[in-house]
Amino acid sequence: MKAAHPDALPIAGGTDVMVEINFDRSRPDSVIDLASVAELDDWGPEDGYLRIGAGVTYTRIISELGDRLPGLAMASRTVGSPQIRNRGTVGGNLGSASPAGDAHPPLLASKAVVELASSAGIRRIPARDFYVGPKKNAMRKDELIAAFLIEPSNGPQQFSKVGTRNAMVIAVCSFALTLDAKRKRVGTGIGSAAPTPVTAGEAEAFMQGVLDEGGLWEKRGEIDPSALVRFGDLVAAAARPIDDVRGTAAYRRHALAVLARRTFAWAWDEYRRKSVA
């Protein structure tokens, strides 16, 4: 259907689409209602990954997958209000590809893969290649987002978002962290502080180095506070923030460094306290 009507606008939960229409920013001639596509609502295991249909709502991610995807579930809990979480989907967040979308940082941190489907077949793109510009993604006009694939957690995960009120707020900036204890890897994702969601590659590499050199994964040893500071600084340096109505660029950088330090400390603390799963 999408191939036959490349200009038709898919609508899942409608929590972005309806806002665009109400604000008169978008006037689709036709829409494709995805609510009736049952496959989009399924999730299940696939080769050690979880394949999650694009239509699974935030509420379901929290209740059904919260134990396996703690980072994404934490991010989901910060999305809007209960009403929005009941309707809104990760597929819709990917479709909008707003730099402020809360699902993106955990998807990046966990190296998730987006599955796109068209009449020509299926292709899978790593999340980090999916966001190509402000509110632009790698999806072709004849494609739909079918699902995303993400590994169940192999260690602690965190998500943290700064907003200027204590609930129901668009991120001023956000940060997601995944500790992969199996592969001894650190994953990061930054939201609302660059034209697209981005990862902090240097910060990841730095921290992996610190953990490897100290044998800290095995020893479950303490992290030197100066390493946390450096990690925070590298995360901040990976951002390319701007001044806008929600905050200043300088504040965003500053806050990202704080969030990175704190989330890493929480995650590492959890790792040290728990035996390997």
Partner 1 sequence: MGRDGAQPAPLRTHRMDVVRYWGEAVALVAADHPEHARRAAQAVRVEYEVLKPLSDPEEALSDDAPRLHPDGNITRRIKIRRGDQDPHADVVVKGEYEVGMQDQAPLGPESGLAIPDGEGGVDLYIATQWLHVDRDQLAECLGLPPEKVRLTMAGIGGAFGAREDLSMQAHACMLALRCGRPVKMAYSRSESFVGHVHRHPARMRYEHGATRDGKLMYVRARILLDGGAYASSSTAVISNACCFAVGPYECANAAIDGWVVYTNNPPCGAMRGFGSVQNCYAHEAQMDKLAEALGMDPVDVRIRNALETGSSLITGQVIDGPVPVAELLRRVKAMPQPAAAASAHLDLTQMPGGVSNTTHGEAVRRGVGYAVGFKNVGYSEGFNDYSTARVKLSVAGGRPRVEVHTAGAEVGQGLVTVQAQIAGTELGVHDVAVLNADTQVGSSGSSSASRQTYITGGAVKAACEAVRERVLALAVSELSGLGRADSDADESGWRLEHDAIVAADGSTVITLATLLGEEVIEETREFRPRRTARLDAETGQANAHMQFAFAAHRAVVDVDTELGLVKVVELATAQDVGKAINPQAVEGQLEGGAAQGLGLAVMEEIQVKDGVIRNPSFTDYLLPTTLDMPPVRMDILELGDPNAPYGLKGVGEPPTISSGPAIVSAIRSASGRPVNRVPVRPHDLLGV
Q: How far is the CB of 35 from ligand FAD (least distance, A)?
A: 9
- The strand pair at 144-150 and 113-118 is best described as antiparallel
26-55 residues in contact with ligand FAD (CB under 6 A) are 34, 54
108-147 residues in contact with ligand FAD (CB under 6 A) are 144-145
Per-residue binding letters, 81-100, with ligand FAD (x by CB under 6 A):
---x--xxx-xxx-xx----
User: Does the footprint of ligand FAD cover residue 12 (CB under 6 A)?
Assistant: yes
Provide the 10 A C-beta neighbour count for residue 256: 30
Q: How far is the CB of 40 from partner 1 (least distance, A)?
A: 27
Q: Which residues contact 168 (CB under 8 A, 6 or more apart)?
A: 80, 81
Picked from ligand FAD, partner 1, none, the partner binding residue 266 (CB below 5 to 8 A depending on kind) is partner 1
Distance CA 170, CA 112 (A): 23
Size of the site for ligand FAD (CB under 6 A): 29
Phi, then psi, of 228 in degrees rounded to 5: -65, -40
Q: How far is the CB of 102 from ligand FAD (least distance, A)?
A: 4
Picked from ligand FAD, partner 1, none, the partner binding residue 54 (CB below 5 to 8 A depending on kind) is ligand FAD
Phi, then psi, of 152 in degrees rounded to 5: -60, 155
For 88-127, letters b (16+ CB in 10 Å) and e give bbbbbbbbbbbbbbbbbbbbbbbbbbbbbbbeeeeeeeeb
Which residues of the shown chain bind ligand FAD in the complex (CB under 6 A)?
9-17, 19, 34, 54, 78-80, 84, 87-89, 91-93, 95-96, 101-102, 144-145, 170
